[in-house]
């Protein structure tokens, strides 16, 4: 028997390093994971360098690599992918940025880079979209909200470059920075000028917006400045269906992952209650994946809450959310004619609160898969599995071979 469909489950940032508060175990080792362990026992395991040994992956470069698009060839910056995920159709040549709504105090210094993790910025985005005018530059823009404090900005116009800095100082207590060109190219200087004008105009609108006045009256930090970063020029990504001959969907609450999926032609499947945090509606995501596999051949699903706990240094919360994931994904084992692939996109150690280059665990389970002797799904056990140590870009060729979608190399 050979499976004909693929469910590719990325447990975002689930991998970690030993945590003192967990007795020297990683959160994945410390968690009770009977379902993941059963999948490991029924499949073939390994560990994976999403990019290459010693290279710390971003979520963007990691997911491109996992989908078989080498980031050194296809990656042009996070901004365009983030913009695509918010619903902005990024045509080739457009300049994209990822954005945060943040709080600036009376002294001009940033108080909160996430504006108190504001839940919705839609009214603020609408005001900026209507009130900012970049026509004197010969430039048009789209600003769309993402989840919470996040948003995306896209610029269209002649003579724009993507090599510009951010106005985000990356720390509270500092003043926003001017956007500067990073090369001597006139196109980058032009983009920097446009960005600074956009920030000036939008800040004036946000300062006195009714939503921000209401937040101040409630003792909440106002979202009165937009921090932009991750500039990139949209390139062309070969459609997934042409590259692999598979129809596909993407299920993710993270606009970045949604954007990557949409950029390669995967159909975005919105899920009510999916938040990208520990309060996400996992049952609805699992149900949506099952439904999609009835009509598609490939489904990419991302679950992100463990990554958030890693970035916050909360080892016990990360362990606990892993147990929530484990219980929620049990129905995935009942999908027939399906190759189940589970991995992390990167390691997010609680000890450093950022991504690291540590390899991540991976398991492939389904009809026709050789079963190794591994009985636990974690960073250490999987290292002894039959897949051995692979790179992220190796995974799609392995998957295609297992569903009999590859061609012979040679006679």
Query: Nearest CA to 239 among 43, 47, 69?
Result: 69
Looking at the domain 5-73+238-402, which fold is it? Alkaline Phosphatase, subunit A (3.40.720)
Q: What is the pLDDT of residues 88-106, one digit of tens each?
A: 999 989 999 999 999 999 9
Domain locations along the chain: 5-73+238-402, 83-233
In the 3-class helix/strand/coil scheme, how is the chain assigned residue by residue? CCCCEEEEEEECCEECCCEHHHCCECHHHHCCCHHHHHHHHCCEEEEEECCCCCCCCCHHHHHHHHCCCCHHHHCCCHHHHHHHHCCCCCCCCCEEEEEEEEEECCCCCEEECCHHHCCCCHHHHHHHHHHCCCHHHCCEEEEEECCCCEEEEEEECCCCCCCECCCCCCCCCCCCCCCCECCCCHHHHHHHHHHHHHHHHHHHHHHCCHHHHHHHHCCCCCCCEEEEEEEEECCCCCCHHHHHCCCEEEECCCHHHHHHHHHCCCEECCCCCCCCCCCCCHHHHHHHHHHHCCCCCEEEEEECHHHHHHHHCCHHHHHHHHHHHHHHCHHHHHCCCEEEEEECCCECCCCCCCCECCCEEEEEECCCCCCCCCCCCCCCHHHHCCCEEEEHHHHHHHHHHHCCCCCCCCC
Whether 276 shows a pLDDT value over 90: the answer reads: no
Whether 9 shows a pLDDT value over 90: the answer reads: yes
Per-residue confidence at 226, pLDDT binned at 50, 70, 90?
very high
The pLDDT assigned to 80 comes to 95
Q: What is the pLDDT of residues 18-35, one digit of tens each?
A: 999 999 999 999 999 999
The pLDDT assigned to 147 comes to 81
Region 238-266 average pLDDT: 95
Whether 354 shows a pLDDT value over 90: the answer reads: yes
Q: What is the pLDDT of residues 278-325, one digit of tens each?
A: 889 999 999 999 999 999 999 999 999 999 999 999 999 999 999 999
Lowest mean pLDDT among 81-90, 319-328, 340-349, 391-400: 81-90
């Amino acid at each position: 028997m050979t499976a004909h469909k693929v469910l590719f489950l990325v447990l975002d940032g689930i991998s970690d390093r030993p945590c003192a508060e967990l007795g020297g175990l990683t959160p994945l080792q410390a968690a009770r994971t009977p379902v993941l362990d059963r999948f490991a026992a029924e499949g073939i395991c390994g560990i994976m360098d999403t990019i290459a040994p010693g290279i710390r992956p971003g979520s963007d470069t990691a997911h491109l690599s996992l989908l078989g698009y080498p980031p050194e060839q296809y990656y042009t910056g996070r901004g365009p992918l983030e913009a695509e995920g918010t619903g902005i159709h990024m045509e080739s040549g457009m300049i994209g940025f990822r954005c945060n709504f943040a709080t600036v105090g009376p002294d001009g210094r940033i108080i909160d880079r996430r504006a108190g993790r504001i839940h919705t910025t839609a009214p603020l985005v609408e005001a900026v979209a209507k009130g900012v005018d970049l026509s004197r530059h010969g430039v048009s823009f789209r600003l769309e909200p993402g989840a919470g404090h996040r948003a995306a900005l896209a610029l269209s116009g002649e003579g724009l470059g993507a090599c510009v800095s951010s106005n985000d100082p990356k720390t509270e207590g500092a003043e926003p920075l001017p956007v500067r060109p990073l090369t001597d190219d006139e196109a980058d200087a032009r983009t920097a000028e446009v960005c600074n004008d956009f920030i000036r105009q939008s800040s004036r609108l946000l300062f006195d917006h009714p939503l921000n006045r209401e937040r101040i009256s409630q003792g909440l930090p106002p979202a009165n400045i937009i921090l932009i970063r991750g500039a990139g020029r949209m390139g062309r990504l070969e459609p997934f269906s042409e590259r692999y001959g598979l129809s596909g969907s993407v299920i993710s609450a993270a606009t970045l992952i949604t954007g990557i999926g949409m950029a390669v032609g995967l159909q975005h499947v919105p899920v009510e209650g999916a938040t990208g945090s520990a309060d996400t509606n996992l049952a609805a995501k699992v149900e949506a994946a099952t439904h999609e596999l009835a009509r598609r051949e490939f489904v990419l699903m991302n679950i992100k809450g463990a990554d958030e706990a890693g970035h916050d240094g909360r080892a016990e919360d990360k362990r606990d959310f892993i147990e929530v994931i484990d219980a929620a994904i049990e129905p995935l084992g009942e999908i027939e004619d399906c190759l189940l692939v589970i991995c992390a996109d990167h390691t997010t150690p609680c000890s450093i609160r950022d991504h690291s280059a540590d390899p991540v665990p991976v398991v492939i389970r389904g009809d026709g898969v050789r079963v190794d002797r591994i009985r636990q799904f974690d960073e250490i056990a999987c290292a002894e599995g039959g897949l051995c140590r692979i790179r992220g870009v190796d995974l799609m060729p392995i998957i295609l071979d297992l569903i009999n979608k590859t061609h012979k190399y040679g006679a």
